[in-house]
Each structure stands twice: as structure tokens, then as C-alpha cells.
Amino acid sequence: MMKRQLHRMRQLAHTGSSGRTPETAEFLGEDLLQVEQRLEPAKRAAHNVHKRLQACLQGQSGADMDKRVKKLPLMALSTTMAESFKELDPDSSMGKALEMTCAIQNQLARILAEFEMTLERDVLQPLSRLSEEELPAILKHKKSLQKLVSDWNTLKSRLSQAAKNSGSNQGLGGASGSHTHTTTANKVEMLKEEEEELKKKVEQCKDEYLADLYHFSTKEDSYANYFIHLLEIQADYHRKSLTSLDTALAELRDNHSQADHSPLTTAAPFSRVYGVSLRTHLQDLGRDIALPIEACVLLLLSEGMQEEGLFRLAAGASVLKRLKQTMASDPHSLEEFCSDPHAVAGALKSYLRELPEPLMTSDLYDDWMRAASLKEPGARLEALHDVCSRLPQENFNNLRYLMKFLALLAEEQDVNKMTPSNIAIVLGPNLLWPPEKEGDQAQLDAASVSSIQVVGVVEALIQNADTLFPGDINFNVSGIFPGLAPQEKVSSQQVSEELPPVTVPAPATTPAPTPAPASMAVRERTEADLPKPTSPKVSRNPTETAASAEDMTRSQGSYQKEEQTCLFLEDFYFFSLANVFL
């Protein structure tokens, strides 16, 4: 009894949510009730997926292979490449690469057309039949059964009422009562015949509807396979495309590497010079001083010490790019660039700027800033001495090497106009910059005093190079540049063959620094009031260290933009300091 009540409650609840009449539920068992509940959702799912999947097709629906391929964007791309290829030398590397790329785009277009035709045949068409024919037919039988059952129930109610009327009339006497009874009896008999006929129709429609439900329940696994087959077709399409691409790429790279023997396009050396960490560069090449630092310093010592505006005047982008490529691939051929010291200076600045971490290290940035904030010269020098002693060995060696050179450059300031202050302005932001920050804070830093403090730190390092980095230095430390002879003033120094250790004299024995000129004193008094431009730092993605030469080499336009940014910052420093002095 309880089970029958629960079943009836379930029927009523489902009738209220789906609109099914209670009478139709009487013909369905529990299993078929669940099947019936899945009809409408299945129809909507098949319809919606078919519609969206149809919109994903790029070719003309229902067309054959040739017509479909012509409409694909990949084929249009292949046609454009073929037209462009005609204008190129077929023996050139670009011509060969474009020819093969054109062919592979054509092949990919045909693979895509084949995929879409298979998709239409095996997925789209079955989904269309399911949503537009099979499931609507079942739902139509359901509605027919509901109507027949409703009509049957109505007819049974009429028959029941007629039977009651006939019984009442039978109790009346007289001729009129007999006539009424006969009429009512005839009406009852007619209603019984109609009820029997309608009952047969209900039974027939019920049998058809139940057969439909059983058929749907047995076919649900097949319907699910439509979606599984969709993924299988997609996987096969991507496998074919990937196989074609891998084959073409292997052949293209092989042909390209055999045809290109130019040292300027060799990827490995270049990727180990610019844009990699200092430690990685030194370990890969077995050096103590970074190749660009040593090479550029020797070139400038040879020809550029008296060049006015060195490090401040920009070089031609094409010359600079060629110098960087030559340095990475064939450093023994650098003598040709001696006549362009500004390009050499630009290559050195570019190396420092492209280091993933500044030469003076990000970890010590706050310590450098604290040292710069000290106003008393002796305390500042002692603080700088302490920070230098905490640099990693490779950073200390290269900073010492560079500061020794910049001190020599500053000795020629009467001719080259590059005082320690001017040198610090143009090189400081390339030696030390604040850690990366995001959002508005990074913009606020552009107006802070930290970059001015960086200039003060680098200027003090140059002015006190002999104190902070004692001892003579052999600029041609690696011995691989015998053709670059430094100027007489430099070559007459007593040089040592080995770099000194990091340890430096104790601060207590440090000589007093040379008094700064009047302009320097004014700048020290006002450096806390000056705005700080953003350091000219390029994007440093760690994955760049393993990139190819093409990925590591900047385009001419990109480099010009960086150089313009750097020059703008340098002009900003000069302008700010000039306003202070005036």
C-alpha cells in the first residue's frame, strides 16, 4: 500500500513539472518514466550542439572536397604565398622557406576539408536526424496518447452519467417514462460503442509510444557515441596536421641550416652573450670578464677615449646590430669597429641593459640606496666599500674592471666632456635599477629619487675606483684580442695577469676621497629633491636565455625605440641637473 502511494506521489510531482497528464503515467513503469524524462533534454542537446558545431565549419557545408577547399582561409593563405613566392629568388633562403610553407598550408587546408566532411557525415547529420526526426516523432506519439486518454476519460464520464440517468428513468411509470427510458438506453449503448472504439485507439497508441520509449532507451548509447566520435575525428585531424607540420619543419630547418653558413646568423654563440645571466655567460665561455665588456673596453681604449660625448651619443642601429652579432659569433673580427666608438659604447650599454639582473645585483639594491643617502663623504665611502665586498665574485670582477676603465675615461674629460657625473648619468641606470614592480607603483617610482641616487652611487664608484678597487688591472685579461693595442697612457701601466680577490682594504685605512667640484657639491645637496626617471630596463624573460639567435636579436625598429628611451632618460638627467645648477 505504501509503495503504491509513493508511486502515485512521484507521478503527480512529475506531472506538475513536465505537463504530463496523470492518465498517461498509468501506462509507464518506473524505468520508462525515467526514459520519458530524458526525451526533451536529449532533443534540446542534439539541436543546440548541432547548431554550434555547424557554425565551427570553415568550408561550404555540403560541398565536395574541391569546392570546400577553395573556401577555406588556409587555402587563401596558400594562394597568397604562392603569388608572393613568384617575386622572390627561388634559390634564396626566404624563397625556399616560403615555397615550402605555401605547400604545407595547402596540405593543411585539405586535411581540414577532409575533417569537416567526416564531421558532417558522422556527427552533424546523425544529430540532425535525432533532433529533427527521431525524437520529435516520439514526442508526437506522446501528445497523441495524452489526447486520446483525455478523450477516453471524458467519454467514460459521459457514459457513467448516462447510465445513472437510465436507471432513474427506469423507475418512472407511464408511457412518457417508458419512452425516455428507451432513449436513454439507446444513448448508453452508443456511448459504450464509442468508448470501446476509443479504448482500442488508446491501446494502439499506447503500444506505439511504449515501443518508442524502449527503442530510445536501447539507442541512448549510440547517441552518446556521436559525441565520442566527434572527439575521435578531432584527434585524428590534429594528429594528421601535426604530422604534416613536423615533417615540413624538419625538412625546412635542415635545408635552412645547410644553406645558411653566415656567422652572423649562428644561434648558439649569440644566445650565450646578450640577454643571459652573467654567471651563465661566464661559465659557458669559460671567462672571468664578460666578452662584451672586455671587447668594448679594449676597442674604446684603442680609439675612443677622446671621443666627445662617448656613451651619450647614439650609434646607427644597423651598425650596432652588426657589431653585437659579430661579437657573439666572431669576436676576433672586431677591429673593423674601432673607427666607430659610439657604436662600441652602445654595444656595451646594450649588454648591461639586457642582463636579466643588473651588474650591481638586485639583492643589494637597497644597500646601494642606503649608501647613496649618506651625506658625509667618509661614511658614504665606507658604506660603498662594504656593499662592494658583498657582491658575488663574478659581479665584483666585472664591476671592478668596468670602473677602472671609466676612471681612465674620466681623466680625458677635458677632451671627451665625459666627467664622472656625466658618465654616471648615462651608464648608471644600466648598471643598477630597482626590482620590477607592477601597476601605479612602478609609475610612481619613475618620479622618485632612487635613479638619482643610482647616479650618485656610480659617480662615487668612478671617482674612488682606485680606493674601492685597489691594484692595477690587465684590460686584455683573456688575451684573445692581441690586435687591440690600448693607448700609451694605459699600456704603460703595470698590469697583473690575475684579477684581485673580492677582499679590499679595511675601511679604517681608506684614504679620504678627493673633494668633489662645486657643481658636484650642489648636486649632492639637491639630489633628494630631484625626480627619478624609470631605469631603461628591457623586458627580461627567463626563457630568453635558451632562445635562438632570431629570438634574441632585436629588430632594428625595436632597438631604436629602446635607444630613444635611454637617450630620453639621459637628457632628463642633464636637464634636471642643469636646472639645479642654474
User: DSSP letter at 528?
Assistant: G
Between the ranges 187-201, 484-498, 547-561, where is the mean pLDDT highest? Answer: 187-201
The single-letter code of the amino acid at 101 is T
User: What is residue 549's predicted lDDT score, i.e. its pLDDT?
Assistant: 33
Going by pLDDT thresholds of 50, 70 and 90, the confidence category of residue 529 is: very low
Average pLDDT over residues 345-369: 92
Q: Tell me, which fold does domain 29-166+186-260 have in CATH?
A: Substrate Binding Domain Of Dnak; Chain:A; Domain 2 (1.20.1270)
More confident residue, 468 or 62: 468
Q: Is the pLDDT of residue 464 over 90?
A: yes
- Helix, strand, coil share of the chain (percent; to 5): 75, 0, 25
Q: Is the pLDDT of residue 160 over 80?
A: yes
Domains 29-166+186-260 and 278-435+446-468 share a fold: no
Lowest-confidence range among 5-9, 236-240, 250-254, 474-478? 5-9
CA angle 125, 128, 134 (to 5 degrees): 115
User: What is residue 109's predicted lDDT score, i.e. its pLDDT?
Assistant: 92
Cα–Cα distance, 388 to 135 (Å, whole number): 81
Backbone angles phi, psi at 156, to 5 degrees: -65, -35
Q: Is the pLDDT of residue 501 over 70?
A: no
Lowest-confidence range among 65-74, 230-239, 548-557? 548-557
Q: Is the pLDDT of residue 568 over 80?
A: no
Burial of residue 202 (CB within 10 Å: 0-12, 13-18, 19+) is buried
User: What is residue 519's predicted lDDT score, i.e. its pLDDT?
Assistant: 34
Strands (E), 345-504: none
Cα–Cα distance, 540 to 442 (Å, whole number): 16
Going by pLDDT thresholds of 50, 70 and 90, the confidence category of residue 553 is: very low
Going by pLDDT thresholds of 50, 70 and 90, the confidence category of residue 114 is: very high
Lowest-confidence range among 269-278, 449-458, 532-541? 532-541
Per residue in 123-136, pLDDT tens? 999 989 888 888 88
Distances (CA, A) of 111 to 81, 108, 123, 237, 495: 18, 5, 17, 7, 69
* Residues contacting residue 330 through CB under 8 Å, at least 6 positions apart: 263
Lowest-confidence range among 45-59, 206-220, 314-328, 404-418? 206-220
Cα–Cα distance, 281 to 283 (Å, whole number): 6
Per residue in 67-102, pLDDT tens? 888 889 999 999 998 888 788 887 778 888 888 899
User: What is residue 396's predicted lDDT score, i.e. its pLDDT?
Assistant: 95
Q: Which residues of 505-522 are buried (b: 16+ CB within 10 A; e: fewer)?
A: eeeeebeebeebeeebee
Per residue in 174-227, pLDDT tens? 555 566 667 777 877 888 888 888 888 888 887 887 887 877 877 888 888 889
Q: Is the pLDDT of residue 268 over 50?
A: no
Q: Is the pLDDT of residue 325 over 50?
A: yes
Cα–Cα distance, 390 to 361 (Å, whole number): 10
Q: Is the pLDDT of residue 260 over 70?
A: no
First to last CA, the chain: 106
Per residue in 405-430, pLDDT tens? 999 999 999 998 999 999 999 999 99
User: What is residue 367's predicted lDDT score, i.e. its pLDDT?
Assistant: 93
Count CB atoms within 10 A of the CB of residue 58.
15
Written as nine digits, the cell of 219 is 539507442
- For 380-395, give the DSSP string: HHHHHHHHHHTS-HHH
Q: Which CATH class is domain 278-435+446-468?
A: mainly alpha
Lowest-confidence range among 46-60, 284-298, 313-327? 313-327
User: What is residue 411's predicted lDDT score, i.e. its pLDDT?
Assistant: 94
User: What is residue 516's predicted lDDT score, i.e. its pLDDT?
Assistant: 37
Domain ranges within the chain, ordered by starting residue: 29-166+186-260, 278-435+446-468
Distances (CA, A) of 222 to 122, 134, 269, 410: 12, 13, 59, 85
User: What is residue 179's predicted lDDT score, i.e. its pLDDT?
Assistant: 61
User: What is residue 317's predicted lDDT score, i.e. its pLDDT?
Assistant: 83
Contact 112, 58 (CB under 8 A): yes
